[in-house]
Each structure stands twice: as C-alpha cells, then as structure tokens.
Structure 1
Amino acid sequence: MSKPTILTVDDDPMVSAAISRDLRNRYGDDYLIVRASSGAQALAVLAKLALRNQPVALIAADQRMPEMTGIELLEQARGHAPGAKYLLLTAYADTDVAIKAINDIGLDYYLLKPWDPPEERLFPVVEDLLDDWRQANPDHTSDVRVIGNRWSDRSHELKTFLARNYVPYRWYDVERDSEAQRLAQLAEAMPADLPLVLIPDGDTLRSPSTLDLAGALGLRTTAQQPLYDVCIVGGGPAGLAAAVYAASEGLSTVIVEREAPGGQAGQSAAIENYLGFPKGLTGSDLAQRAVAQVSRFGAEMVLARSVIGFETRGPVHAVQVEGAAEIEARALIVATGVSYRRLDAAGLAELTGRGVYYGVSASDASQCQGDDVYLVGGANSAGQAALNLARYATNVVLIVRGASLEATMSRYLIDKIAATPNVHVRCRSEVAACRGNGHLEAITIAARDNGRVEEVPASWLFVFVGASPRTEWLGPDVLRDDKGFVVTGQELLAHDKVWRLPRAPFALESSVPGVFAAGDVRLDSMKRVASAVGEGAMSVYLVHRYLATV
C-alpha cells in the first residue's frame, strides 16, 4: 500500500510552506505531504491521486482563498477522496461558517490560525483525525479472514467479536464466493469446521469459540496479578470511565468484559448528544478512544470471559471467572449494563443468529444492501440503528408497540426519521411470529388495536426492546429489585436489615460494602452514555472513600 497523502491548500506562499513543513517534520515518514496554492490546483492533484489509486488521508484547506473558498473546495473534493478527513484553517470571524460546514459538508474539524506552537495546537488535532482515518482504512494485507455461511449464528458471533474488538477482517461467504470455496478446500474443511478463521502467521481455527479466537489474536484473557485495588466487571461506558479514573489515580485496576469494550453503546451507529462532539461520534469510536486511555494509564482488560459469581473474604472480594482463575480485589465495581430483552414470538428463538439479531453492528448494516429490514423498538438505540441501516437497505420498517415515538425517543432522532424516505414507522404493532427454513424468511406483524395479522417476507429482524440487567452472578447478598437492577445508596435504608454498618452507604454502594454499581445496571440510573460515564468516574471517588475505611 503506497503512502497515504496529506494535502494542504493555501494561497499564501508563506503559510503554505509553514504548514507543509510542520506536517512533513511530524508525519513525513508515514505520509506523503503535498501542497497546493489554490482550490483548482488541489482538485487537479486529487484527481491524479484518484487515478493512481493513492489514498488521501487528510485535506487541510484555508477558508479565505480567492476564486474558491476552503469549504467550496472540500465540498467538491468528496468526489475524488470520499474517505479523507477534512480540516479547515480559518480566522475567528469565520467560525459560524465553519460550524455550519460540519452539517453541510461533513467537516471534521476547524482550526483557528495561527496554530503555533504546532505541538500544542496543530499536531493533537491532526493526530486524532489520522487515527480515525487509519481505523477506517486499514492495510488489508494483514487482515484476519473468516470463511463461513451468511446465515450461520456462529459466523455472526465471530464477526461481531472481531468488529467490536477492532480487529480488521475480511468475510467470505462459502455459498456465494469462489474464493471462500477455494480456501475451504485448501483447508480440507468439513461443514462442521465452519466458520474457519485464518490468522496471518497463525494456525487455521475451525469453528472456534470467542475465547479461542481471542487467545489466537493475542488478546488478554486472564488477569496478570493476584490482587488488585479495584476490579471492574463490564467494559461499557461506565466500566471504561471507572478504569480510566482508577488507573490514572494510581489504583491497580482490572476490567473483565465477556464480549467487547463499549457495551450496548459500542454498537451505536451515532451518538449525537454527547458533550464535546458537535458532529457526533459512533459508539465504536467512543469505545476505542476509551480503551486507548485505559491502556495508557495501565489498567488491565480481560476479554472473552464471563463472571459467574463472587465472594467477600474479609477486606477482599473474590470474583469468580468462567474458565479461569478467580480475581481478588479490595473493591468491586459492577458495570455490566443491560442486554436487550428476548422477544416472545413463535419461531423466533430458532432463528436467532440466522436473520434475527439483538442489536446491530456496522458489519450487519452493510450486509443488508438492497434488502427490506425490520426493527423492533422505539427508543434511541432503535432510531439510531434504523437511520444507519437506511444507508444500505431498500426499506427499513420500525415496529413500535406504543402509539408514537415521542414518549421514548429523542426529538432529534424523530425528526431525522421523518426526513428519511426509506424509513417507515408502524406504531401499535408487534412481531407475533417468525418463519424460515435455516434462516429468517418471513415475519408476522400483529396490530395491537384490532388484532389484525399480516405476514411479510423478511430476511433481517433486529430487536431493540427492554433492558435486562446482567446481575444473576451477584448472588443473594447484593440487593436487587424484581427486575434485577442493583439497589444502591440511600435506597438501601428503606429495606430492613440490609445495611448493617454504622456508617451510611455511599451513593453508588450496594448492600455489600465495597461493591459499587455504576451505569445502566443500577436501579433508577438515567440510561444515557453521559450519565454512565459520570457514574463510572464517581464510583472511583467512592472507592477511595471506602478504601480509607477498611
């Protein structure tokens, strides 16, 4: 793969030379730095690069140029370099125009001139944009390859695991791709061996578990220390935030995550109301940034392991991990979040993973090209998924039990859905049955008002209903409500003989001293990403207070 290009565009020769020099000094080893002195010249350069199939990572353009402004250039540049990141160099007087360009042309960032010193003002911005570009444009020569059946639940499980753990992979459908058939033949694979996972410089994996796959990829699946200051169960926004704050404050920290970092939020196609990101960001992007912070501060992450129980042994909590040694910690933070509730519809359980899915990943969305897709749910997660799927599917039908979306979905999502012509909403409806031979072929939709039923052909059904907390492993000592959410703080005092210490429980503390709950798993939490992050950070503050008492 040839060096990706960074293109700078400025009509002022001194400014053009300065930004090119700064970028070349910092990024010249990995990127080709090209400069243009006008919008027209920049478009000519981009056309030449496109013909040569040379990737363009970043275009940094000055706004105030004669004949063609920076925004006008960037708008036209999309046709030559659709995946490039856009950076606008502008004066303070043009900030309103730059902010408008975020929505109008997908501007990624605007930077006020001058940018001295570049180490503080230019390079952090450029590095962030290049990180995003590299994530979206990996060098495929080192990709993992997965060979399997499109409607296999095991194939779906492995692809989801790879995608959510940021492992680039290529998918080959053994029923439709001649290359998949060739690879399967070379591996002498029997039907029971599928899916195959081919890892560069590694052994061929035959229908591996996610734990086997994680180990083959070098992901950590066991804890490294006998005792930690804090163990965090769950790697969603609350757990990741707790790990960042705990590790940055010097606490030895381990996270145990059974699937992948990010939790439900990590699968979100767009989080548009998170503070500090005016253009919004994907759940995957947020999770990846958080994981990088966790790693930077030295917290450990144990993946592909389920926690099945815990015991309190004096001042220590022992977390029991399936298939591995237990982990001991002085404090425990429960951040396991929630999972989507299973639908009760005839035939649905047999087709789960074969056209019926709980949640949706980016790879699922791209596989729906040209199909009709059905979603069940009326909350924000369903709305975000519907808009993402609409980019690929012919039609997206949102099936909602309620009379409207207003009571359960944010207004900005409702407005976007109304403005998207291939997204349709069926209120007061529910899925009554699913049918298919080997994979989903049809669903039956029932009207809740009059009981009328209608069967429609369907290959894809995504479910986004309810919230079931993952707390069964906590045992009887941790008080939970009848739905499984952890009771914390002052609410414990409303239950007789639950809290036995002379001091009051801390705000996020459970009925077991030193065991805290943060995020969606906690009773009466807000069920929003920002609040989960806040509770994760707050839990560490309370852990410090707890550790000072024992």
Structure 2
Amino acid sequence: MAEATDEARTVILTVDDDPAVSRAVARDLRRRYGEDYRVVRAESGAAALEALRVLKLRGTPVAVILADYRMPQMNGIEFLEAALDLFPAARRILLTAYADTNAAIDAINVVDLDHYLLKPWEPPEEKLYPVVDDLLETWRAGAARAVDVTKVVGHRWSARSSRIREFLARNQVPYRWYSSEEPEGRRLLAAAGQDGLRLPLVVTPDGTALVEPAERDLADHVGLSTTPEADFYDLVVVGGGPAGLAAAVYGASEGLRTVLVEREATGGQAGQSSRIENYLGFPDGVSGAQLTDRARRQATKFGAELLTACTVTGLDVKGAARVLRFSDGSAVSAHTVILATGVSYRQLDVPGAAGLTGRGVYYGSALTEAAACQGQEVHIVGGANSAGQAAMFLSRTARKVTLLVRAPKLATSMSYYLLQRVQDAPTITVLTDTVVEAAHGKEHLEGLTLRNRVTGSSETVDAQWMYVFIGAAPLTDWLDGTVLRDPRGFVLTGPDLTTDGRPPAGWPLDRPPYHLETNVPGVFAAGDVRAESAKRVASAVGEGAMAVMLAHRYLEQS
C-alpha cells in the first residue's frame, strides 16, 4: 500500500517491489525534497496506480515518478505507460539494473521516458539528485497547476450534466468543467473507474467521486447545508428568491431564530437573470447572481440558517406550532412560516421539447450554457422582461438571436427601457405572432417548426439552442388541504381571503388576517407565490420584509 502523508504538496512517487529498496529510495528523496514535496512510495505497480488515481481525483499534482523495471505482475515500463494516462505531465524515471539497460533504452520510445537510473545510485548527491533536480525544474516550467475546486466531467448534450452545472453555479460552488471527450476528462473518468457511459462524474475537492449524483447528495459533499441544526425555530422561510432572502435577512437581524429552506438554489427566477436594470439603487444594473450572493451573505451575517436541496412536501398545524415536512421524511417546526416559493417556468408543451430539455432546450437563462452559444444562432421563446434580458445578454456573443413572440407586439409585455434596447440591438431579430409547433433532434436540438398565428404558415428552421420564457406557475400543490389558493395555485392572503369584511371560514382569531397572512394564522406569503402580487424583484423584497414585521406582530399577540 502507498503511504499517506500531507495532501497539500506536489507529489514525487516511487514504486519498487523490494521493500528495502523502496524505503531507501523514499529516504533519499525525502532527505533532499521532503520540505517542498510529498514523497509517496508503493511496493507494487497496482498499489502505485491506485495511489495515482486517488491523487488524480483529489487534484494533487504529481511531478516525478520513479519506477523499478523488474516488478512482478506489472513491470516498470507497463506501470509508467498506465501512469502516463493519469498524469501525462509528470516526469518519468526507470530504475534498472545494468543487465536491463537495453529495455530502459527501448522504454524511452514506449513511454516517453525522461531518464533511467542504474541501481545502486550511490552516492545520491552525484547520481540521483542532479537527475531529479533537472526533471523538477522541467516540470515546474511546463506543468499546469491543479485548482482546488469541484470537477465535473460530462457531455455537452447531457441533460443531467447541464442540470448539475446549473445547480453548482447557482449555489456559488466553484467548479471546473471537463468534456468526457477531452483528454483530461477521460483521465478523470479512468481515475474514478468509469467508462463514461454514466454521466456526469463529479469529483469533489477531497477526491470523492460521485456518479450521476442527486442534488441533495451533491450538496452534502460540496459543503452546502441540507439539514436544520435545530428542531424548532421562531421563523421558517420556504423559498430562497428575493422575497425569501429578504425575509431571512430581516428575520435574523431582528433577533428571530430563522431558517430558510430552498428546493434548488437561492435566488429564484431573479437569480437566473443576466441583468436587472430597474432595481432601486443599482443605476448600472446588477446580475441576478450578484444580487443573490449579496443577499445570501447578508442573511448568514445576521445568523440566518440557509438550507439547500430541501424539498418541502407538507404543512401541518399542531397547536401553536407550524410543522413543515420534508421529502426525506424529516420535519421542522416553528412559531411562524413565510411562504416565498416563487414560481417556476412553464414547460413548452409541443412535440419533441420534453425529450430535448437540457440538450438544446433550456428553461430560464441557463447561463452556464451561454458560453457554448458563442458565434451561433439562438432562439428565445417569450416576450416579457426575462426573455428580453436573456436576448440582450446572449446577443453579446451569439451570431444571431431570434426572439419568438406569440403576441402581435412586444410593448404589451416588456418594459419600455428594455424594449428599446432589444429593438436597437443589431443581432436581435423579433418575430411576432410566432409560436413553436415542434422541436426536432435525436441526441440534441437540431431544428424547430415555427408557425405564424396570423397567416397559419409554418416553416422548419435549423436550431441548436432554444431558451424558453413563457410564463410561470406556482409550485403549491403541497399546501393542499391547509392553505387556501386561487384557481391558478397562487396563495390567497389578507383582503383576498375576506368576504364583506368577514374572515374566511375556520379562521380561529378575533381579528381578520393581516395583509400578507394566509387562512392559517402565523403563516404568511410573500413575493410571486402570493395571489395578485406585482411580480417584480423590488416588490418581492418589500413583501419579504413586511411579512417579517407581521410575523413579529403575530408573535407578540400569541
């Protein structure tokens, strides 16, 4: 087995099946290089390869490999050839006896051998160290330094790979993307013992390899919190969009024990926006990711607990407690709850679209895919602000952006300032009265059938990238039987619950519901999930703050 030492330093690896020789090589190397390099030794080719796989997954660089020629099962040349696949930049030395000199010379061509050393190498100051010094200098001059981030190996048209990248990006987890078809991607797959049929492969900074991970499992491995620290809180906020983050900031800053529970990633739809330009206090605009990151850091600064990849499946009323049930069977209780789950993009219900989701068809900005659109034509479905913002963002690098709008004109659904920019952009074409009838492609999107709603004529156009913004719907089915909603699923609050000034049936208190309070006392709704809300970032933030004020009022009177 290979020895384990400090992981932070670049590795020099030595392998020899003779324990005495193995220890001697490692001893001499540590004497000279031990302060700056980690020396790892192994006593078989198989053990050394396993050590290299672990180092590869951990992102630990390997500078020099020394291997004995005469080893059973796998000789030194065979080992170095296999090691070349994992660490092609590592310098390679073959340790050999005089009788095997010809084999060492042949190995120069077989495994691109850098040097061979005759045993014994005494004194090392004359025969070992000068050789290793030169090879280390060569390695330092040309080797790419490893980055201590999560690595994702996937395929360009893999829907699951796209989803994992989006999950990491939206949760502010640094990662590096490798195609399964590029050399480094293949090396990582080999190190994890994978053939590339199951993607994505995610390698965490500690070297853990996850194949096709679920979001919750991935969250646990990359340092995101998924389990509440306590069983009972003053306030539970469900949803991490602008309304939820504002509620978490104000709740925690005012002394409430606050936990925010998010199903996917904080920011909501606003967090996916490439540019928000009409938000108060940001005259030059701000990206959704920047705004989300600031709000998240602000919430944690005040002591709010943020949970990710937690799906709430039910709400129960048990006396003064409001109990939220999670999909994994666990639960958390609180005095008050703020529902800020926002809305999710509606799916494009046309033939072919569902099977191509994540493989050319995307909902929301999907900014992680934007770089791949450079120099290509992009189709955007929708005519509201989110579609316009995406069009402006993608037009910076795309060859052409075609905006497909169902309505006869944009002015009915898009803010004036954004409408002017879209119309002035030379690479944006707007097709009004146009709908998508079908999406075509096998491995990925290849074409779209478009129909003009006025003339009825249809045409099929080439397309590899389509972003869809066709409205949104609330995900509130889990509130069935507890919280009242309108026919579209939006949560009813305050005045919308009353009839002729009378509270809703079953309301237990003498007072009517507060403005943002639902039919369940102590349960409030804020932001896009609330019926008749303004559906703007600023109003969502304001409602999140106001909901906390009303929660305080409820607690004071309880």
Alignment of 1:456-495 (within 5 A): 456-494=461-499
Q: Is the 8 A contact 1:243 1:253 kept in 2?
A: yes
Question: 2:379 maps to what in 1?
Answer: 374
State the match for 1:146 in structure 2. 152
CA offset at residue 426 of structure 1? 0.6
In the other structure, the counterpart of 1:160 is 166
In the alignment, what sits opposite 1:534? Answer: 542
User: Residue 245 of structure 1 aligns with which residue?
Assistant: 250
What is the aligned partner in structure 2 of residue 201 from structure 1?
206
Partners of 2:555 and 2:169 in 1: CA distance? 37
Deviations 1:83-120 (A, max 9, x none): xxxxxxxxxxxxxxxxxxxxxxxxxxxxxxxxxxxxxx
Which string of whole-angstrom CA distances, capped at 9 and with x for unpartnered residues, describes residues 102-141 of structure 1?
Answer: xxxxxxxxxxxxxxxxxxxxxxxxxxxxxxxxxxxxx971
Letter in 2 for 1:360: S
Mapped pair 1:519 → 2:524 = no
What amino acid is the match of 2:170?
R
Deviations, residues 491-511 of structure 1 (Å, cap 9, x unaligned): 101386254432111000011
Distance 1:231 1:200 in 2: 32
| Partner of residue 239 from structure 2, selected from 219, 234, 243 | 234
Which residue of 2 is the match for residue 179 of structure 1? 184
Range 243-252 or range 338-347, more displaced: 338-347
Check whether the contact 1:492–1:499 (CA below 8 A) recurs between aligned residues. Answer: no
For residues 345-424 of structure 1, what are the structure 2 equivalents within 5 Å?
345-424=350-429
Report SS of the residue matched to 2:185. Answer: helix
Report whether the alignment pairs 1:263 with 2:268: yes
**CA-to-partner distance for each residue in 1:440-477, whole Å, 9 max, x for gaps?**
11111111112111111111111111120111111222
Alpha-carbon shift at residue 367 of structure 1 (Å):
1.5
Aligned match of 2:323 in 318, 323, 340?
A: 318
Structure 1 stretches lacking a partner, 5+ long: 1-138
Out of 422, 430, 437, the position equivalent to 1:425 is 430
Q: What is the letter of the counterpart of residue 526 of structure 1?
A: A
Does residue 504 of structure 1 match 2:509? Answer: no
CA distance in 1 between partners of 2:347 and 2:242 (Å): 23
Q: Which residue of 2 aligns with 1:61?
A: none
Provide, for residues 14-56 of structure 1, a one-character-per-residue CA deviation record: whole Å limited to 9, x for no partner.
xxxxxxxxxxxxxxxxxxxxxxxxxxxxxxxxxxxxxxxxxxx
Cα distance in 1, alignment partners of residues 406 and 146 from structure 2 = 43
Write the letter of the residue equivalent to 1:463: V
Q: Percent of aligned pairs with the same residue?
A: 52
- Could you report, residue by residue, the CA deviation over 1:287-334 in whole angstroms, capped at 9, with x for unpaired residues? 000000011000101101111111000100100011152010110100
Structure 1 residues 145 and 496 mapped into 2: Cα distance closer, same or farther (>3 Å)? Answer: closer
Q: How does 1:43-82 map to 2 (within 5 A)?
A: none
Q: What secondary structure is seen at the aligned counterpart in 1 of 2:498?
A: helix
SS of corresponding position for 2:373: coil
The RMSD of aligned alpha carbons is 1.4
C-alpha contact (below 8 Å) 1:256/1:301 kept by paired residues: yes
State the AA in 2 paired with 1:515: V
d(CA) in 2 for partners of 1:541 and 1:533? Answer: 13
CA contact (8 A) 1:192 1:207 kept: no
Give the drift of 1:143.
2.0
Aligned length: 411
Partner residue, 2:37 = none
Aligned partners of 2:189 and 2:196 also within 8 Å: no
Deviations 1:239-287 (A, max 9, x none): 0000000000000000000111100000100011111111111000000
Do the aligned residues in 2 keep the contact of 1:309 with 1:474 (CA within 8 Å)?
Answer: yes
Between 490-499 and 191-200, report the one with greater CA deviation: 490-499
The residue type paired with residue 180 of structure 1 is: G
Q: Using the TM superposition, give the Cα deviation of residue 412 of structure 1 relative to its aligned residue in structure 2, in angstroms.
A: 1.1
Aligned residue identity for 1:471: T
> Aligned equivalents of 1:409 and 1:234: distance in 2?
26
Residue pair 1:492, 1:498 contacting (<8 A) in 2 also? no
* Counterpart pick for 1:214 among 209, 213, 219: 219
Paired residue for 1:74?
none
Q: Separation in 1 of the partners of 2:437 and 2:396?
A: 27
3-state secondary structure, aligned to 1:214: helix
Given that 1:241 and 1:533 are in contact with CA atoms closer than 8 Å, whether structure 2 keeps it comes out as: yes
Contact 1:356 1:461 in 2 (8 A): yes
- 1:545 aligned partner: 553
The two structures have a TM-score, normalised by structure 1, of: 0.73
CA contact (8 A) 2:504 2:519 kept: no
Q: Indicate the SS of the match to 2:557.
A: coil
Q: Which has the larger radius of gyration?
A: 2
Counterpart secondary structure, 1:397: strand
| Structure 2 CA distance for aligned equivalents of residues 424 and 499 of structure 1 | 53
**Aligned residue in 1 for 2:138:** none
Is the contact made by 1:222 and 1:324 (CA closer than 8 Å) also made in structure 2?
no
Deviation at 1:524, TM superposition (A): 0.6
Query: Is contact 1:430-1:447 (8 Å) kept?
Result: yes
**Change in 2 beyond 3 A, CA 1:496/1:281:** closer
- Matched with 2:446 is 441
Aligned to 2:123: none
Distance 1:140 1:333, change over 3 A: farther
Question: How far apart are residue 204 of structure 1 and its match?
Answer: 1.1
For normalisation by structure 2, the TM-score amounts to 0.72
Which of structure 1's runs of 4+ aligned residues deviate more than 4 A? none
Question: 2:176 matched to which residue of 1?
Answer: 170
TM-superposed CA distance for 1:185, in Å, is 2.3
Structure 2 unaligned regions, length at least 5: 1-144
Q: Is the 2:315–2:482 Cα contact (8 Å) retained in structure 1?
A: no
Cα distance in 1 between the residues matched to 2:510 and 2:174 = 53
Contact 2:158 2:358 in 1 (8 A): yes
Q: CA deviation at 1:373?
A: 0.7
